[in-house]
Copies of this chain bind each other. A is one copy, B any other.
Amino acid sequence: MPDRAAGHAVIVEGAEAPGRFVLVCEHASNHFPARWGDLGLDAAARAAHIAWDPGALGLAQGLAAHLDAVLVRATTSRVIYDLNRPPHAPGAMPVRSEIYDIPGNHALPATERRARTEALYLPFHAALDAQIARRLAQGIAPVLVTVHSFTPVFNGVARAVELGVIHDADPRYAKAIAAEARAQTGLNVQINAPYSAADGVTHTLARHATPIGLPHVMLELRNDLIATPAAQQAMATQLAPLLRAALTRTEETP
């Protein structure tokens, strides 16, 4: 059973999993708890990519199974709090996302920003801290992989990239994954696309991997490639060995 810690703000699957990989899915859910309501979004907006990363959770769970990994995942829509942003970032509680206005986030009082931060951001990152720290204490060297998806068309422009491989300060593991993925798959693979650390999208990596020098990557899959459970599992089966091979390559290179 997953551990629904801290009032359901986060779920940890496989807390005692023996592998080195620590998987994270900050945008796993488009659930809108009653406490916050629907923020004025209609059903179509709540199902769209602005509310979550469609397909990312199934992919992350598939990767976790292949890699004997723990998975730390969100339970609540990113438009209530985007767990991959610090509390002062405009994108943490966005008033607008792509073509969608988010009425329930307009003119948020400081008390409400603080309440969401305490209810969602802090427990999520504390749970992730705990998973990493436990492994470090026990002599296991963690590898941090965050799993995301992106929309094929953004602001009316089609995106050619299919697998984006994004890094924070240390590019080595991301570059090794890109090299493996280009050699082993037919995917259009790009580093730091469709966005990069300069866009403020690597907060989880910057908080948890960079300060202690962990190998890290943010995987971004175009969501049309992982639209069904079968496609998510197939992608996990394809990517898991690449993640292992790239780690070996990274750690063998002086």
Contact = CB atoms under 8 A, between A and B. Distances in A.
Interface string A93-131: 000000000000000001101101110011001100110
A210 interface: yes
B134 A126 contact: no
Contact of A113 (B86, B138, B207): B138
Given A86-B212, A207-B211, A212-B86, A126 B137 contact: no
Given A122-B126, A126-B126, A139-B88, A133 B110 contact: no
Interface residues of A, number: 29
B129 A110 contact: no
B125 A137 contact: no
A4 interface: no
A244 interface: no
Nearest to A115: B137
Contact of A211 (B117, B133, B206): B206
